[in-house]
Structure 1
């Protein structure tokens, strides 16, 4: 028998090494650290752009300022189609510096570049205005609904720091009642931190899962997500059983 260097538990083998549980835990910790470093790099790059102004007399454009703007954004599918909202003015240089997607639109001969109008579908006017404001200020006033809307926009236009910002806000609002819909939302929009946090809450109370109204809706709309939840839960049970019965290790 050999002992794990981390937890000192004995397990099958001939030399000192690392047991499966400690190896997996170390891998998870390393992945979390990499993710945190990437988030910080994204934030540094984003905020650095605010300081890179060309010359001492340059005045950085204000969000939604019509003067000298050379592009407008339009919420083409506003929730209230009876109301006509004004286009939101912006500056190409700002949009290009913040989003690879806007860069591709505006630095080529795409329709948006030629017309100076960017139509953004499936977004409320308030969310679009908050999104544009964030591109200028790196700040947003959030509630749960706005955080979801901005996360969707951040994913679509590859504004990584905004996506992280919204994920952290939603994680702070997580509870058992909203964990399942937030898990499905995070799954749809590749929000891994929110996904992991919601899954952890779900697995802590699996006995109540089928009693949720959202559970039946999810079974109908996207059973694949439900299957993944059960697979994660069963995997956790197997790992827990192996930890509690070390003699079963080989």
Structure 2
């Protein structure tokens, strides 16, 4: 009888230990203990993993866009789409010339390219080179209001979907991307400019974005400006903007008033609830 009771005590203690182990488990990521009701990972690791997953999804989408941008036109595309038209003509080489390049007495430096690439990347180049326009006949495309460095970077991007950017180069390339309807490059430059946005350059960025239809930069700059309206009138750029383009100043104040109304309405709803 004593042995039997002893065994019972031992079993109950082991059962208690197993129950305790079941209540607390270790996270498979950080090895910290967490409640048994959670599954697999602790709350902190789960949230971190969710954020990482979202970042990876964004990177994948960017890579897909890059691959789609770099994809060359192929005669098989016509067959796949059921088109009865013959494949496009064979495109020879072409050179681009920057109008702002070249010192007095020296010829401008040419930027060589391939017509097939230009046609594939830009609908504007496509219209130029597939029709009997001067650029198609001469094999020379003159690009106005651009430096040689910017034009070379632009052509390089058409081949590689990569560019070494600073704020000035991003602006120059965005202008070219808008002009030649290279959407992938325009988005690339906009993301860079948004990452460099601050209070000091917000007004100039807003005016630039408005001029070149860069909505991503426009919205980000406007949000920053309306968050700091008390400092706005003290800026030299503000005075210049009032003189050069008062319409933009009106738009800024309209956006600010709309934001104030929405904020007040949100507060009223919160108080009522």
Band the TM-score falls in, shorter-chain normalisation = 0.7 to 0.9
| Residues in 2 aligned to 1:107 and 1:49: alpha-carbon distance in whole angstroms | 16
Residue 150 of structure 1 corresponds to which residue in structure 2? 173
Deviation at 1:87, TM superposition (A): 1.1
- 1:92 pairs, out of 104, 115, 126, with 115
* Runs of 4 or more above 4 Å deviation: 36-42, 79-83
| Residues in 1 aligned to 2:175 and 2:210: alpha-carbon distance in whole angstroms | 12
Residue 147 of structure 2 corresponds to which residue in structure 1? 124
Deviation at 1:86, TM superposition (A): 1.5
Count of aligned pairs: 200
Residue 183 of structure 1 corresponds to which residue in structure 2? 206
- Cα deviation code 1:31-87 (max 9, x no counterpart): xxxxx999777534203339x799xxxxxxxxxxxxx96210001133866653321
Residue segments in structure 1 that go unaligned for 5+ positions in a row:
1-35, 55-67
| Residues in 2 aligned to 1:138 and 1:53: alpha-carbon distance in whole angstroms | 23
Residue 84 of structure 2 corresponds to which residue in structure 1? none
Residue segments in structure 2 that go unaligned for 5+ positions in a row:
1-58, 77-90
In structure 2, the residue corresponding to 1:89 is in which secondary structure? strand
Deviation at 1:220, TM superposition (A): 1.1
RMSD of aligned alpha carbons: 2.8
| Residues in 1 aligned to 2:104 and 2:219: alpha-carbon distance in whole angstroms | 36
After TM superposition, the score normalised by the length of structure 2 is 0.67
Residue 241 of structure 2 corresponds to which residue in structure 1? 218
After TM superposition, the score normalised by the length of structure 1 is 0.73
- Does residue 199 (structure 1) correspond to residue 222 (structure 2)? The answer is yes
| Residues in 2 aligned to 1:158 and 1:111: alpha-carbon distance in whole angstroms | 20
Distance 1:186 1:39, change over 3 A: farther
Residue 156 of structure 2 corresponds to which residue in structure 1? 133
